[in-house]
Amino acid sequence: MKRKQFLRSSAILAAGIITTGLYASQVEPFWLEFVHKNMSIKNLPKELIGKTVMQISDIHVGDRFDYQYIIDSFKKAQKLNPDYVVYTGDYVTYQNSKQKTQLKEVLKHTVKGKVGTLGILGNHDYGHNWSQNDVADDISSILSIAGIDVLRNQQKGIDGLNFIGLDDYWGTKFNPISITQQIDNSLANVLLCHNPDVCDLDVWNDYQGWILAGHTHGGQCKPPFLTPPMLPVKNKKYSAGEIDLKDGRILYINRALGHLWQVRFNVRPEITVFTLTT
């Protein structure tokens, strides 16, 4: 009887491992969640109350998963008819120039805002070792042609909402002070920053408002009630979701639409839809 019980328990354990593996590799990586949140912004014009800002991050177009999933997700997002759309970096998992062609194919289906569409670069958009300026420039050009206004240490006001975009922390053109010194806190501001570790740098010039980031993918795999074991940030508090930085800044970290590797557990891919409030 003991041998039978052991074999039965082993079979159940093996079946559980196989089922979990299939779920983590074949189901959750493509189980998109639309996360809806309110975004309270100081100095927001009354006519913008109730408007929406959609955040899409880390699509990672390349050869590591079937990027038809990204195209299908874009089509779902378009049905929500957002007012503003912001992309917070890592459009490709860069290996060679093939990813530029792949990105062009995906961006034929770009989700655009009725009022404005903006983006920033991530570390993967700088190619190998995050150091290829020509790759970053080409990615920026592809995005611009697709209708995404790329901010590289720049700001742009669109119908009463002011977007500030930092270039990537690990890229070669990271220069936040050049733009944060120009921040006007009397405006209705939203700041885009790929890597949330930038929040801990002394570069903010008393910025007050929301920071939309990506980069972490929420760790992609997370044991219940525990911190993800692998996060590409120094500050391990910067995993996913809304974080009050207690100084007038509110950080939101998107869990990413794509993934570096086709595996997720307890960290579904995300597109965030913010409703503007005062």
What are the residue boundaries of the structural domains of the chain, listed by start? 1-30, 32-277
Tokens read off for 35: 């996360």
Residue with tokens 């692998």: 230
Task: Say which residues have a Cβ less than 8 Å from residue 151's Cβ, sequence separation at least 6.
Answer: 118, 119, 120, 163, 164, 165, 166, 192
Full pLDDT tens readout for the chain, 278 residues: 566 665 565 556 556 667 777 889 999 999 999 999 999 999 999 999 999 999 999 999 999 999 999 999 999 999 999 999 999 999 999 999 999 999 999 999 999 999 999 999 999 999 999 999 999 999 999 999 999 999 999 999 999 999 999 999 999 999 999 999 999 999 999 999 999 999 999 999 999 999 999 999 999 999 988 889 889 999 999 999 999 999 999 999 999 999 999 999 999 999 999 999 99
What Rg, from alpha-carbon coordinates, does the chain have?
A: 20
CA 147 – CA 257 distance, rounded (Å): 19
Question: Any idea what the Cα angle at residue 24 is, between residues 88 and 74, rounded to 5°?
Answer: 35
State residue 17's pLDDT score.
Answer: 66
CA 10 – CA 174 distance, rounded (Å): 53
Residue with tokens 């070669």: 172
Task: Say which residues have a Cβ less than 8 Å from residue 215's Cβ, sequence separation at least 6.
Answer: 57, 58, 89, 90, 122, 123, 194, 195, 196, 232, 233, 253
Residue with tokens 């770009």: 110
Q: What would the CATH number be for the domain defined by 32-277?
A: 3.60.21
CA 135 – CA 122 distance, rounded (Å): 12
State residue 226's pLDDT score.
Answer: 86
8 A C-beta contact, residue 140 and residue 122: no
**pTM summary value:** 0.93
User: Angle, to 10 degrees, between the axis of helix 68-78 and the axis of helix 98-106?
Assistant: 30
Phi-psi region of 135 (alpha: psi -120 to 50; beta: other; left: phi over 0): alpha
CA 217 – CA 184 distance, rounded (Å): 31
CA 43 – CA 160 distance, rounded (Å): 9
Query: What residues does 210 pair with on adjacent strands?
Result: 190, 250
- How many residues does the structure list for the chain? 278
CA 156 – CA 213 distance, rounded (Å): 18
State residue 15's pLDDT score.
Answer: 60
- Closest by CA to 156, choosing from 214, 117, 213, is 117
Secondary structure letter of residue 39 according to DSSP: E
State residue 18's pLDDT score.
Answer: 74
8 A C-beta contact, residue 245 and residue 206: no
State residue 8's pLDDT score.
Answer: 63
